[in-house]
């Protein structure tokens, strides 16, 4: 099938991208502003012979997709703030048991029920730290429909490569907005398939023994290898252990497999950075307004650039340092109280880092950014 041009909502793009990546199992519970993902999945999955489950809550949704991943399927669940909070225990399970899965959080204003239909990027810190215990996590985002498609496919690829949950953190604006998208032809974007063990039947299979390249080949539930999966600290057979040496190794494996690969995992986009005196750092819907400002100011000869983050965690400290080295002002534009500002300040001399934000449930506009830039640049209000 050739490329297909469509004019659809961001939430629907997530569905089409997931199917493109090979998804055939979804479980979810409706919540604004992610509901359209659940609805479209209900329509699309049976069409391809896949399975859709509307569960009794978000806790069971994440549990169900973990179960389905273990039988060898590519799986996803989608939710928003309150539902994402409910998923934290299951998320930790997927991290500990190393289960590939993708979790979408189309953010709304919080805390609590907050602003169900208001745009926000308030879950960035939660996505990093949400579940209990030391852990690393991959969190990605995008600002337009074409990128949502590619990032969603990438999320599935990373989930399979590293045997890990991957979080897609979108927001109400991109989720609900309709925009043109070219659905790529099959084969255009590379797909990573489940790595299955080559260990023969009857030979001891170690589900939690990494290969030399760090990957852990899996065996589908139902096939010839029978093994144990647990959220307890476990040995290479997946059996619970509290042996300090084994636990130490496990903890480092879980964190290092992601944090030591920031440069391979990390994705971002650059606009006019070469000579920029002021660099805006933004992501998701906020980056749309930021890009608008940068392009209009460039036309007037102002040395403004945009660094659009697509990987939020693991945080690309090194990349930020490198790209922003020569800038006089680094301005983080986001719809929260500075959740990406913090790690940016850790990457750079803090006195050149500024924040432009909104937390009132209203989309941050180019005018908002322009006004605040005047203040930062000392040009008054």
Q: How far is the CB of 31 from other proteins (least distance, A)?
A: 17
The helix/strand/coil state of 9 is: strand
Of 75 and 340, CB closest to other proteins: 75
Least Å from the CB of residue 139 to other proteins:
22
**Closest CB to other proteins among residues 55, 359:** 55
Minimum distance from residue 223 beta carbon to other proteins (Å): 7
Residue from 114, 116, 217, 221 touching other proteins (CB under 8 A): that is 221
Smallest distance, other proteins to C-beta of residue 16, A: 16
Q: Which two tokens stand for residue 276?
A: 């920029």
By the 8 A CB rule, do 336 and 126 touch? no
CA 43 – CA 76 distance, rounded (Å)? 15
* Residues 26, 76 contacting (CB under 8 angstroms): yes
Interface pattern 13-52 for other proteins (x via CB under 8 A): ------------x-x---------------x--xx-x-x-
Q: How does DSSP assign 186-225, residue by residue?
A: TTSS--PPP-B--PPTTSPP-TT---TTS---B--TTSS-
Which residue of 20, 84, 93, 272 would you call a contact of other proteins, by CB under 8 A?
93
Q: Which stretch binds other proteins (CB under 8 A): 79-87, 89-97, 174-182, 359-367?
A: 89-97
Of 137-145, 229-237, 250-258, 337-345: span binding other proteins (CB under 8 A): 229-237
3-class secondary-structure state, position 54: strand
In the region spanning residues 349 to 368, those forming contacts with other proteins, defined by CB under 8 A, are none
Comparing CB distances to other proteins, the nearer of 229 and 362 is 229
Stretch that binds other proteins, among 102-110, 182-190, 235-243, 266-274 (CB under 8 A): 235-243
Choosing from 222, 245, 349, 378, the residue that interacts with other proteins (CB under 8 A) is 222
CB of 151 to other proteins, least distance (A): 25
Distance in angstroms (rounded) separating the CA atoms of residues 370 and 368: 6
How far apart CA 339 and CA 232 sit, in angstroms, is: 31
For 168, residues 6+ apart whose C-beta sits below 8 A from its C-beta are 14, 102, 103, 104, 105, 139, 140, 141, 151, 152, 155
Interface with other proteins, residue 203, by CB under 8 A = no
Burial track 28-46 (b if 16+ CB lie within 10 A, e otherwise): bbebbbbbbbbbbbeebbe
Q: Rounded CA gap, 241 and 250, in Å?
A: 11
Pairing of strands 178-183, 4-9: antiparallel
Least CB distance to other proteins at residue 218 (A): 12
The CB-of-208 to other proteins minimum distance in angstroms stands at 13
Burial of 132 (0-12, 13-18, 19+ CB in 10 A): exposed
CB of 39 to other proteins, least distance (A): 14
Contact set for other proteins, span 54-83 (CB under 8 A): 55-57, 59-61, 63-73, 75
H helices present in 260-361, as ranges? 262-265, 284-299, 317-324, 341-347
Q: How many residues bind other proteins (CB under 8 A)?
A: 44
CA–CA separation, 85 and 10 (whole Å): 22
Site residues (vs other proteins, CB under 8 A) = 25, 27, 43, 46-47, 49, 51, 53, 55-57, 59-61, 63-73, 75, 89-90, 93, 220-224, 226-232, 237, 239-240
């Amino acid at each position: 099938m050739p490329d297909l041009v469509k004019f659809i909502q961001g939430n629907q793009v997530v569905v089409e991208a997931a199917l493109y990546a090979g998804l055939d199992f979804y479980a979810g519970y409706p919540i604004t502003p992610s509901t359209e993902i659940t609805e479209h999945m209900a329509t699309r999955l049976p069409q391809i012979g896949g399975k859709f489950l509307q569960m009794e809550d978000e806790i069971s949704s994440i549990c169900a997709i973990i179960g389905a991943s273990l039988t060898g399927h590519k799986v996803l669940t989608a939710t928003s703030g309150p539902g994402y909070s409910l998923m934290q225990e299951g998320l930790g399970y997927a991290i500990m048991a190393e289960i590939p899965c993708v979790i979408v959080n189309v953010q709304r204003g919080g805390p609590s029920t907050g602003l169900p239909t208001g745009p926000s990027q308030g879950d960035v810190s939660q996505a990093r730290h949400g579940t209990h215990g030391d852990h690393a996590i991959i969190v990605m985002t995008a600002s337009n429909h074409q990128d949502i498609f590619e990032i969603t496919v990438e999320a599935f690829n990373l989930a399979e490569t590293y045997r890990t949950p991957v979080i897609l953190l979108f927001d109400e604006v991109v989720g609900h907005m309709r925009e043109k998208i070219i659905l790529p032809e099959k084969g255009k974007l590379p797909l990573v398939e489940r790595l299955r063990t080559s260990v023969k039947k009857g030979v001891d299979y170690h589900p939690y023994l990494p290969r030399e390249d760090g990957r852990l080949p899996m065996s589908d539930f139902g096939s010839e290898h029978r093994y144990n999966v647990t959220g307890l600290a476990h040995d290479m057979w997946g059996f619970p252990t509290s042996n300090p040496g084994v636990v130490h190794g496990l903890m480092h494996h879980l964190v290092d497999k992601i944090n030591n690969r920031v440069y391979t995992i990390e994705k971002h986009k650059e606009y006019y950075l070469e000579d920029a005196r002021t660099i805006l750092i933004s992501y998701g819907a906020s980056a749309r307004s930021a890009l608008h400002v940068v392009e209009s100011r460039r036309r007037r000869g102002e040395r403004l650039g945009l660094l659009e983050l697509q990987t939020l965690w693991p945080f690309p400290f090194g990349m930020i340092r490198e790209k922003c080295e020569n800038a006089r002002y680094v301005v983080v534009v986001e719809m929260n109280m500075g959740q990406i500002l913090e790690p940016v300040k850790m990457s750079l001399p803090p006195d050149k880092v500024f924040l432009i934000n909104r937390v009132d449930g209203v989309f941050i506009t180019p005018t908002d950014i322009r006004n605040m830039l005047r203040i930062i640049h000392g040009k008054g209000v």
